[in-house]
Structure 1
Amino acid sequence: MTPEQKGPGTMMRVQQFVNDGWKFDFGEHPAAEREAPDPQWYDVGLPHSFEQPDYRAHRIYVGHGCYRRNLYVDEAWLGRWIALEFMGVFQTCEVFVNGRSVGRHEGGYTPFTIDISDAVTAGANDVLVRVDNLWNARLAPRAGDYSFAGGIYRDVSLIVADRVRIDWHGVGVTTPEVSRERATVAAAVEIVNDEPRPVEVNVAAVIADPVRAVATIPPVRRTIPARSRAVVELEGALAHPLLWHPDHPHRYQLTASISVDGTVRDSHQTSFGVRWFEFTADRGFFLNGEHLDLHGANVHQNRGGWGDAGTRASIRRDVAMIKDLGMNIIRGSHYPHHPYFAEECDRQGLLFWSELHFWGIGGEDTEGYWFASAYPVNEADEPAFEESLRQALREMIRTQRNHPSIITWSIGNEAFFSDEKVIDKAKALTSELVALSKELDPTRPAAVGGVQRRGFDVLGDIAGYNGDGAELYMDPGVPSVVSEYHGTLGNGPGEYEVQWEHGVETDYPWRSGKIFWCAFHYKTIAPGSGLMGLADYFRRPKRAYHWYREQLRGIAPPEFPEPGTAVALRLKSDTETIPTDGTGDARIEVELLDEHGRRVADDRTIELTVVEGGGVFPSGPSFTLSPETNSVWDGAGAIEMRSYIPGPQRIRAVVEGLAPAEIVLTAVGPAKPGQGTERRFAPPAPFLAVPPSVPGFMSLASYRPVKTSSTAPGYKGGNATEPGGAIWRAERREPGEWIAPSLEFQYPINRIEIDFAEPPVHPWIVETAEDSRTFVPVHEAEPGGERSVRIEFETRTALTVRVYFPKQPNDIEEIRVH
């Protein structure tokens, strides 16, 4: 890239992606930064995950991986600020340039920069990045229902800027006063002066809509001391602003610039929106003064084949699928997403709940893997753990604060899954992070997600209730949403109609809305989880997706394929061109057709191969879709393909017994030296780690969602999964009553313990179900016996445990599952 000249001896900012041309190998390679590049390393492009190709297998590679690349530096750049910007690396990385350590970052979900100004020379420079995804007791998250795969799984860019410049993400825009007639616009511009002398800067800004300038903010002059930074406050106004709303997501662009002695030294453009909103405890949510019922979905970032390493184009498609459903909000579960995700929410018109990764998961409570207590159990680990969340919160807010779609900063999810001895510390940290978020950004409220147990719901401005919290907290007296509710489960097309749970189908005026769990299948360390998506791991809509769209938008479902025999293939793509900078891809779909050209449910293995061009699938130039990996169902399969090499890309699909199908796409971008030569593609990870088998001491049912046939006032079902002496009591005293704790994931179990409030005077039956619907008896008991019982049996897989009463119910104090 040729830097743009803006004045005598002055160049404006350069920013370019460096996603192509990387080498990679598994392992720590402790001396690699001091050694010559190994030609046996593999060729990869970014974004990249340790888990490629990822078919959602219940295991992940845990260890190290190293990335290496030549980085060209123009001689004219020397003496300026030169940095590498990483949008996300999971979860610890150290960066070396020309054998020299230049920076380290801990935390897997937030962007950061590494200053390489003093380490580079003109021409080619050797960059090595050592990454690990080792579980760390002192680094959030310590637990969670996800995969935690390692890698440089988001974009990397090179930034070159003046020594007197606007800091990285250094323009914050707010609209302190908004009406339909007028909006004030405040811009806080952070200036860095790296020069050895003070400089007097002139800071100015212009506001534009997509086609023209609409306002000029009066400039401010300020002297910045040597080697320091300062924030310059600008203020202007917009007359009759166009308000941002999901139905008309209008955005403005603010361009800030700094000049020294009449010469522009740097400028930065950011988008923002004009809107105002309010969460209320009694009337729900309001946007621009009008009531808006929030209805949305939770979204994880990983996906079929590529794992966490999705492109910006894949993010754009994910957001578009939620918009297509007729929903109006996305919860970024349960970590900060790529800032481009919020940008797409801005552009397409979806509100966004941006969340921090203070994250818990119930069950084993085992140190050493992501089933641990959400808050550290060892006092020595506490300071570093807490600081990791403070740092991540600062990074999330700094890089995403200008997005109008974001209406709350959420502190985490189900952190109540912390060891009993540290639960007060977990709550204190939650309160501290709530206060910090409002200090960093006073314009947005702070939410806490998954607060249906242990009193976390009063710690933030907004309470997000998951699962049975929807019925446990009726009119709670604080602004609230149902932040998770379930309604579908399993691979393949599934059922058409969604089965509502915990009464979420009823809309209450005091509830701001509800957010479905979840939009897409995801990979997880938790057995039996991750299959609750409205679309599958490869982003193919299930039947339930079309049911939701019909409910929300009135669009009738398509004609679903019937069983039959395929006689032909159809190969198609969502785009004809692919950028070669790692930001884009093509979604390739293969359909099996009958003699009438209709898709038919004849599920067979599909082999996709790039027979011309540099295109790559997650496994290299070919990829296999099959029923065995749940990547083919209803007679079709889909996967995303990229290319880092320009030119024609001819893709062939082959199914045994059918004629092949082909499609030609075009990869667009500059040709680079060495491209088109032989490439070495990485095999799957050389070893895979599975969760430790060491049992924890926590019941698998503790603090989990509970369903009941009926509940007497003051005797909620959740009492039966929480120690402390409170009981569950059925409201009706008649045959057929039951209580059913969910384990949330499919676990192997072999023991159930029940504490009745009194020795049972009515018969009872213990049952389990793998799918929460089809129950199989484990134990049947007649009246009498001890108040506390222990039932042992051969190991079986269970998602739900149920205690059923064929005559009349007995009161229950606690149910424990192991």
Structure 2
Amino acid sequence: MIMNLLVLKPCCFCRKKISGLIILILFLMGSSPVCFSNDNVRTKENFDFGWKFHLGDIKEAASTNYNDAQWEEVQLPHDWSIGLVTDSTMHRGGSMGFFPGGIGWYRKTFEVPEAYKGQKISILFDGVYHQSDVYINGKHLGFYPYGYIGFEYDLTPYLKYGKENTIAVRVDHSNCPTSRWYSGSGIYRHVWLNVAQPIHIPTWGTYVTTPVVTKESAEVKLVTTIENYSSPRKKISLESIIEDAGGKQVATTVSEISITKKGKNDISQSLTVKSPVLWSVDQPYLYRIKSLIKADGQVIDQYETPLGIRYFEYDPDKGFSLNGVPMKMKGMNVHHDAGSFGAAVPDRSYERRLQILKEYGCNAIRCSHNPPSPEFLDLCDQLGFLVIDESFDKWKSGYYGEYFDKWWQKDLDAMLRRDRNHPSIIMWSVGNEVGEQGDNTGVGVARAKMLQDYVHKTEPTRPVMVAIAPGSNMLERTYNKSGFTEALDIVGYNYQEPWYVTDKEQFPNRIMFGSEVYPYYRGREGKAIVRDYSPKNPWYDVVKNDFIFGQFLWTGIDYFGESSGWPSKGWPTGLFDICMFEKPSASFHRSVWNDQPMVSIAVVDQSLDIDPGKDHWAWPYLASHWNFPQYKGHIILIQTVSNCQEVEVKINGNSMGKRKVADYDNNTIPWHVPYAAGTIEAISYNNGNEAARHELKTSGAPHRIVLSPDRSSVKADGQDVSHITVTIVDKEGIPVPNQDIPITIKVTGNGKLIGLDSGDLRNNTPYKTATRTTYFGKALALIQASRTPGEITVEATGKDMPISTTVIFCK
């Protein structure tokens, strides 16, 4: 039973990965023959290639005889909405970023050899948004409404061996929007084809915990589900091997099992890892578990499970600790879209986003407000993020309401079984700002207990939370009177930092944190709106109160949806824009979340042409450049942000003086200075010694384009991506931020352009076109590799500027 003091010592792993042989997909005469090896070990094949797509409903599209020759050829992940023209007249269009939905069909034809009769063949969809119907050879396999979790269908009874087989998927997003943010439309995550012997470990079929962890040893408990699909009585063995990061075996155990009938059997085993290396945000060390099923001396199945060993505690007075070390969660709420990819985000793009956030100082992610992709969680395991995995947004009061009664348990169970072994996940969330939170009839409390009890029964190693909205009357806060919050392990506070101390006094055993906080302003208690625009940042409420274990900014990154109104397509007040270009407003949290000495300069100018965002979520208008000819001879306001002791400002070498950071709020010093074209510098000092420096220079006219790829080499796998930053510079190479121009990208060779973005959510040029106007002098070109090694040549052109070229190697 989880008590007020939550002491949780689970041991987790990433997504199950299958080793063994690769299934080679050949493409011949419009079909995809699946060629398997004669080895008995299972295969798991990426099934993303060779699909066809049609936007619109066709009654006969599930039939094997249907002629799809005129359909568009696509590869997965695929989001059809992001490629459409936005519609300013769309009903509730702001929620979806004004991108239309509709009904779409996908089809793929493939072959399976005769020799593989008797094996189990299944298809796993990581995510289809939404209301999907899947067919194999005209046979309806099932309907799945929720778009944010994976599901699997058994193809075996319906396959034609040695002949063509057709998978068809109907996706119905005609009732768009169906989330309060941009969801995307289509098969927007990976698809996998799984082939296994009749006796095998099913998808998500292992569960690992570490009930005892010390410096000397870690006790590893492993429960493995073994499915007997069709075999008669058989004696088998299950060997489980733990290997360290270098591949050295550190623990092993074997269980002898007699399989007597069809169905599933759970096998419990215990192993001990001596002197374990613990997983942490600073050292995300991963072991690996190999699970081998043997029969008659032969390996008939092999299942691999990355493993991270760690323990954590939640204490109502002391907050959170990881491996016995107290720490604060420096968190961001993050949605699942990624700029011009829409919802169909390549794995590498998620990796780039997380790497940028990690360098920035972020150590925790709240997946708002749905389960993320399996690959996203894998990356969080590998890079060292703490994760709140969230099953739903609202319950009966939101878009999920029509499915809640019938589907909540299936969807919640799928999330728990899929994600339960990730070391990064330290909390389950079962709701956000649910309408039932203030219900005084007992319905809300009963529903919260129902969901939490199910999680405790299914996966008891982590606490459960719901994020609470302040409501229209913040002083009323009926959830504290209805018993709703007392029913939860942990209470997430959305925008309620003024009541941290008050509620701590009233509910001393409550475990609480800032599940959503404003990025800049903090308010105070009072009537009605109850918040003023005090610039004392909410981070300081976390710092000064041990019982508040962290905060999660709303939001870390700009996203599509929840628009303030046309022409903006989304939420513009993140610390990073949708290209992952860092904004000047990000400087404060960098100064308090990151130990590296830093200083930054920004100009405060309310006349800037930017998307302001909503109310308290907005920042003062800040510009990270020194191109203000209109202010020549005027005194202007700038600000410096630093985590050092002192800051000095110089303009063209002339000192404006030194000031102590401690004398000002938010590490932010305001300066009134005379504008003069040239160079403005901020120099920060610790103990009188220079610690960091930031400068802005006035630029001249646009002269050329600079292309800066994040990687000059990509994998020839048809999915890897290089992100090329496009920057307009003057003759001296100084960026030109105040004269935006259209740029055109041309790609030749072994790759293609799959998106072009600038970070400006108000620019309604379609994202799949090759021309876009820069924003503050920059854009981002997204180049995807082919499956053939070679060179990718990328050219950029703009008016009155020479062609710029860069080469990416596809290996």
- Scaled by the length of structure 1, what TM-score is found? 0.73
**Are 2:721 and 1:585 aligned?**
yes
Partner of 1:493: none
In 2: Cα distance, 1:183 partner to 1:280 partner: 23
The one-letter amino acid paired with 1:634 is F
Cα shift at 1:499: 6.6
**Are 2:334 and 1:299 aligned?**
yes
- SS state of the match for residue 52, structure 1? helix
In 2: Cα distance, 1:185 partner to 1:2 partner: 30
Q: 1:460 aligns with which of 483, 488, 493?
A: 488
Partner of 2:519: 487
Partner of 1:604: 741
Cα shift at 1:219: 1.0
Cα shift at 1:196: 4.3
Matches within 5 A, 1:108-119: 108-119=147-158
Deviations 1:335-372 (A, max 9, x none): 00012212111111111111111427xxxxxx9xxxx6
Q: 2:67 aligns with which of 12, 27, 37?
A: 37
Deviations 1:478-530 (A, max 9, x none): 111101111269xxxxxxx9872596465301111111111111111553561
Asked whether the 8 Å contact 1:569–1:661 carries over to 2, the reply is yes
**Are 2:598 and 1:555 aligned?**
yes
The verdict on how the C-alpha distance between 1:143 and 1:625 changes in structure 2, with shifts beyond 3 A counting, is closer
Asked whether the 8 Å contact 2:47–2:193 carries over to 1, the reply is yes
The verdict on how the C-alpha distance between 1:562 and 1:12 changes in structure 2, with shifts beyond 3 A counting, is farther
Matches within 5 A, 1:410-559: 410-416=429-435, 424-450=442-468, 452=470, 453-455=477-479, 456-471=484-499, 474-475=503-504, 476-477=507-508, 478-487=510-519, 500-501=537-538, 504=541, 506-528=543-565, 530-553=571-594, 554-557=597-600, 559=695
**Are 2:102 and 1:63 aligned?**
yes
Partner of 1:699: none
Q: 1:632 aligns with which of 747, 763, 774?
A: 774
**Are 2:317 and 1:282 aligned?**
yes
In 2: Cα distance, 1:525 partner to 1:125 partner: 41
Cα shift at 1:23: 1.3
In 2: Cα distance, 1:486 partner to 1:28 partner: 43
Partner of 2:425: 406
**Are 2:275 and 1:240 aligned?**
yes
The verdict on how the C-alpha distance between 1:659 and 1:54 changes in structure 2, with shifts beyond 3 A counting, is farther
- SS state of the match for residue 388, structure 2? strand
Cα shift at 1:666: 3.3
Asked whether the 8 Å contact 1:297–1:329 carries over to 2, the reply is yes
**Are 2:91 and 1:91 aligned?**
no
Asked whether the 8 Å contact 2:292–2:303 carries over to 1, the reply is yes
Asked whether the 8 Å contact 1:56–1:304 carries over to 2, the reply is no
Q: CA RMSD in A?
A: 2.9
The runs of 5 or more residues in structure 1 that have no matched partner are 137-141, 361-366, 490-496, 669-818
**Are 2:170 and 1:130 aligned?**
yes
In 2: Cα distance, 1:110 partner to 1:648 partner: 37
Partner of 1:751: none
Matched length: 634
Partner of 1:748: none
Cα shift at 1:580: 4.9
- SS state of the match for residue 414, structure 2? helix
Cα shift at 1:114: 1.7
- SS state of the match for residue 33, structure 1? coil
- Scaled by the length of structure 2, what TM-score is found? 0.73
Partner of 2:800: 657
Asked whether the 8 Å contact 1:51–1:306 carries over to 2, the reply is no
- SS state of the match for residue 381, structure 2? helix
The runs of 5 or more residues in structure 2 that have no matched partner are 1-20, 25-35, 88-96, 471-476, 522-533, 601-693, 765-772
Deviations 1:600-630 (A, max 9, x none): 2132122222233441314xxx889889618
Deviations 1:558-609 (A, max 9, x none): 5456554210101121123334545421112111011111222132122222
Percent identity, aligned pairs only?
Answer: 27
In 2: Cα distance, 1:54 partner to 1:285 partner: 45
The verdict on how the C-alpha distance between 1:499 and 1:125 changes in structure 2, with shifts beyond 3 A counting, is farther
Partner of 2:43: 14
Cα shift at 1:389: 2.0
Q: 1:389 aligns with which of 379, 398, 408?
A: 408
Asked whether the 8 Å contact 1:19–1:582 carries over to 2, the reply is no
Partner of 2:193: 158
The verdict on how the C-alpha distance between 1:75 and 1:450 changes in structure 2, with shifts beyond 3 A counting, is farther
In 2: Cα distance, 1:632 partner to 1:488 partner: 27
Q: 1:568 aligns with which of 704, 708, 728?
A: 704
In 1: Cα distance, 2:147 partner to 2:361 partner: 31
Cα shift at 1:404: 0.8
In 1: Cα distance, 2:70 partner to 2:317 partner: 64
Cα shift at 1:547: 3.5
Q: Which moves more between the two structures, 655-664 or 578-587? A: 578-587
Partner of 2:651: none
The verdict on how the C-alpha distance between 1:451 and 1:254 changes in structure 2, with shifts beyond 3 A counting, is farther
In 2: Cα distance, 1:168 partner to 1:46 partner: 21
In 1: Cα distance, 2:111 partner to 2:400 partner: 44
The one-letter amino acid paired with 2:311 is W
- SS state of the match for residue 32, structure 1? coil
Q: Which moves more between the two structures, 52-61 or 463-472? A: 52-61
Asked whether the 8 Å contact 2:181–2:560 carries over to 1, the reply is yes
The verdict on how the C-alpha distance between 1:56 and 1:250 changes in structure 2, with shifts beyond 3 A counting, is farther
Asked whether the 8 Å contact 1:24–1:66 carries over to 2, the reply is yes
In 1: Cα distance, 2:37 partner to 2:724 partner: 49
The verdict on how the C-alpha distance between 1:294 and 1:627 changes in structure 2, with shifts beyond 3 A counting, is closer
Asked whether the 8 Å contact 1:165–1:191 carries over to 2, the reply is yes
In 2: Cα distance, 1:610 partner to 1:298 partner: 34
**Are 2:83 and 1:53 aligned?**
yes
Asked whether the 8 Å contact 1:535–1:541 carries over to 2, the reply is yes
- SS state of the match for residue 403, structure 1? coil
- SS state of the match for residue 436, structure 1? helix
Cα shift at 1:293: 1.4
